Amino acid sequence: MPLYRLPSRRALLRTASAALAACALPFAPAHAQGARTRFTVAGWSKPISEITNLLAEPEKGFFKAQGLDLAYLPGAGGGDAIRNLLSGQADVAFTDPGSFFMALDKGEKLVAIYDIYPQNVFNVVSLKSANIRKPADLKGKRIGVYSLASGTRQNLLVMLHQAGLKESDVSIVVTGLLNFAPLLQGQVDATAATDTGLAVGRRKGVGEVNVMQVADHLNVSSDLFVVRAEALQQKRELLKAFLRGYRDSAAWMIANPEAAADLAVKYAIDGTQRDINLEVIRLRNASSLPARAGQGAVASALGAFDLDSLQKAADAYRALGLVQRPIHIRDAVDTGLLP
């Protein structure tokens, strides 16, 4: 593959934008003229607008300032990102907790080092005419997912289990990332998606829909940065530099959504419409904010873990039969690399 992923939420974003614009740590100029180390992120997706903070690196230089030459390896789901990490093609995986839990369950030695999106952004969407209003209504239905290795499938399984259903009780159809066309064309009865996917679908005329939020059943982070356990010692300073660069890039996109929407037109494969870029970026900015961060703590809290929430999620995956082994989150998370 080629290399290239409380106050009201709106009030919190306004406060965050101002705070981050003023308080984000400055770039490290010492690296600007020196040799840079290549660093590859294995993504769950192609280069899409919601990861504009990564894609804007050629112009913004957040990682260059940390001495890194950033590369992005696209994938088709969080499972792909982990496979590319384990194969040695990447230094870090941009993956969902479900894929992380399942890899740990198989005995893989992995550690999460940064909580990218503390908010659960997954959902299951159906047309009003299908009359699917609750998880139990999914029985016997055809349901689209981005890929079998994606967080859409993992979170769909969580929702099914909440209704006492198994994966075999439905027909899962791989529809790709832009999966609302199959829904409109009647190829599926419902589709597992994300908040940004739904926003794009609505902009493109999906019409009246019923939306079931996975967060209503299991509110856990949507994506994490995960590394091989051995890298914690071998590449510790390199990983710290990457997280500083990523934190600065996330802070920039939160503080400057309009500028990010402009750059998405240039760098994102789905970024042709600036107004849609802006909506997607604002949604992703909101999901980047820690759920429990106070107004004065947003800048310093980017990337911070809610270990209790992750443990509840890991326990839920085991209770639902999605993993077999008990997962002790404090043994699978390293908070010492956070900026």
Percent of residues, the chain, with pLDDT higher than 90:
74
Exposure of 216 in the CB half-sphere (CA atoms within 13 A): 12
Rg of the chain (C-alpha set): 19
- DSSP one-letter string for 111-151: EEEEEEE-S--EEEEEEGGG---SGGGGTT-EEEES-TTSH
Confidence of residue 329 (pLDDT cuts 50, 70, 90): very high
Domains and CATH numbers, the chain: 9-119+220-332 (3.40.190.10), 122-216 (3.40.190.10)
pLDDT digits (tens, 9 = 90+) for 76-128: 999 999 999 999 999 999 999 999 999 999 999 999 999 999 989 999 999 99
User: Which amino acid, residue 107?
Assistant: G
Judge residue 159's burial from the number of C-beta atoms within 10 Å of its C-beta, 0-12 exposed, 13-18 middle, 19 or more buried: buried
In which element (H, E) is residue 69 found?
strand 68-73
Is the pLDDT at 333 greater than 60? The verdict is yes
Please state at what angle helix 195-203 crosses helix 274-288, rounded to 10 degrees.
Answer: 160
**3 state SS of 191:** strand
Handedness of CA 123, 53, 249, 97 (dihedral sign): positive
Which pTM value belongs to this model? 0.84
- For the ranges 17-26, 55-64, 187-196, 262-271, which has the lowest average pLDDT? 17-26
Using an 8 Å Cβ cutoff, are 194 and 153 in contact? Answer: no
What is the per-residue pLDDT for 7? Answer: 37
pLDDT at 173 over 50: yes
Rounded-to-integer distance, Cα 10 and Cα 253, Å: 15
Q: What number of other Cβ atoms are within 10 A of residue 336's Cβ?
A: 9
> In whole angstroms, what is the distance from residue 248 CA to residue 20 CA?
9
For the stretch 204-227, pLDDT in tens is: 888 899 999 999 988 889 999 999
